[in-house]
Structure 1
Amino acid sequence: MDAAISILRTAENPEPEVEAFYREVLDLLNESGVPFLVGGAYAFNRYTGITRHTRDLDIFIRRTDFEPISEALRREGHEAVLTFPHWLGKIHLDDVYIDLIFSSGNGVAEVDDIWFEHAVDANVHGVNVKICPAEEMIWSKAFIMERERFDGADIIHLIHARGERLDWQRLLHRFGPHWRVLLSHLVLFGFAYPAARHRVPAAVMDELTERLRMETSSASPEHSICLGTLLSREQYLKDIEQEGLQDGRVTPLGNMTPEDTAIWTQAIEANKKH
């Protein structure tokens, strides 16, 4: 486990009132006793040294802890809104906000006990906290392949910075049946950094390419399924809505309900306007 580290900030420090807002919420969360992790740009900076301009703060929590956290914040005058019931809530201060994240937009990367078991100590805006493990960051970012956002470069930078210290067996377990997504990023890593290919263990590449070989030589699934919706909530809607393919996000294939996907789809246009 890494030792505690110094204060994490973005390249351009937030305005004093924004930093005070972040610090107050982090202090309140510590006082509540409910476990939480800091992720996003702060954790990414911790692992890679890459600084990002950001006007939000990502807090990762268990879904069962959303209500206790909301109550603790409400007592101090902060309202937490459950924006998307399957993965995200928000705390607003004018145009600045804090995300309360308990899964991923596709419902795959649910925050569970393992996130906390492998968290790293840090200090964010003068508050002692824990940040998300690099492995879980890779897992949750790996599926983000929208037209307007692709987190592949983040994953490549995380592997470049942490590859020799990553728990590769945990990563393989995290991706489970979605191992092709992990393999795609590992192939791109070797392309981006040819001289650093050794940072991905040969045994991992051998295992995944053997899985690919075996799957390629086997019969295709009988059911018409589209797993592309796990990568983009918009770009595969035609396959679901017009072609009649089964949505890989929805139970029993995935972790989302039809209601979850409907809300998530309706928000596409609203996001574009902002």
Structure 2
Amino acid sequence: MALGDRRRTQASGASDLLVALADPATPIETLALILAKDEYPTLTVESGLARIDELAAPLAAHRSALVALDANDQAEALRALVYDELGFRGNADDYYDPRNSYLSDVVDRRTGIPITLSALLMAIGRRIGIVVEGIGFPGHFLVRVGGERGVHLDPFFDGRVVSESALERLAEKFLGSASRLRPEHLHVVSPRSMVVRMLVNLKHAHERRHDHARALVVSDRLVDVTASVTFRRDRGLHALALGASAAAVEDLEAYLSDASQPADELVVRRALARARASSATGMS
């Protein structure tokens, strides 16, 4: 499929995502299912939400009792359902499998990475009356159960409670041994921020597989959501790899025009020269 055709095919999905993001009340599971439609065009958000309803059903029937519990007991009830009864787990065997970033696949396969498992926990929590919030911890997404005085859970490792000392160790692991845990590491993040982080993870997963076509689509989404010139650069490089030199020229020129003294300027200029040469010979 030519690049122009591919972009036209994705246009309605981009519109759906932007419309959903414009409403701050749109839950993360709806946004994540919209993202999955790029890979699974026949997927409907309604069917995905219905699957999550089914997962939450065993505890949804006890909503009033769960609301009355303290944060620790709420966290344990959620953990027991999702990990013990339903069998979800972090995908340590193939962490960079792109399917780990599609919520529909995570539900079907019962495995994923921290942020998609967090989205699932948040979705189930909403259905059973438990406050579950996404915590944008650097390098390893977490959730908090029970509000400001609640407890942190690690969605990748069986939903276990993460103590203060464990949070400090995570900070050292992902930020360097000289780093210390800071309040901003534990801030609740918005659904929009989660969408961007999901897309960045997915882009990296496709890039590791040299899947330029899928990486281009994800870069397109990131441009739509963030307007970042960095993602325009990435989109341009993937377009060049796919032989769409005219589109590559447009994005790479925009990057060099808008970015302020980028560290990769020389590399991008070389890529732009190749794109211009290909475009001039009609190879796009």
More strand by share: 1
Quickly name the TM-score band, shorter chain normalised: 0.3 to 0.5
| Structure ID, larger Rg | 2
